[in-house]
Structure 1
């Protein structure tokens, strides 16, 4: 095994965050910009659909992570060996 489970999990977390920031703007529309009266921000969407976006982020990042792991295991994207040599 070229990498350990902690490294695999760390790569998944990085993929998840990158995909989250790519998915967050999806589904938002250019709404009329009237002054908010409830204390919210001007650019905040009225229906953010965060649960749906988190679920989408999870399965898309799982596919991306599986692709990255496939490339690592077949050797097309080798990771450096950062462990010190054993004497």
Structure 2
């Protein structure tokens, strides 16, 4: 038995914020997360988004869950995450 596909509902303000983030944010990983959320809201499945962005489907699911719990602030990389320079 498969899980129910998760889709987010964005209001106009959230869509504008994510579109601006996808175009103008200085961090590429932030822009990628914004694009993924906009695609999900448009009805694209998590697996299709993952394939399109070349990431794991669990990663896309995590981005969606983060958006639902923390909003736009949650999309920023937290201190201590990622590879050390």
Give TM-score, length-normalised by structure 2: 0.27
Higher helix share: 2
- The structure, 1 or 2, with the larger RCO (C-alpha pairs under 8 Å, 6+ apart) is 1
Larger C-alpha radius of gyration, 1 or 2? 1
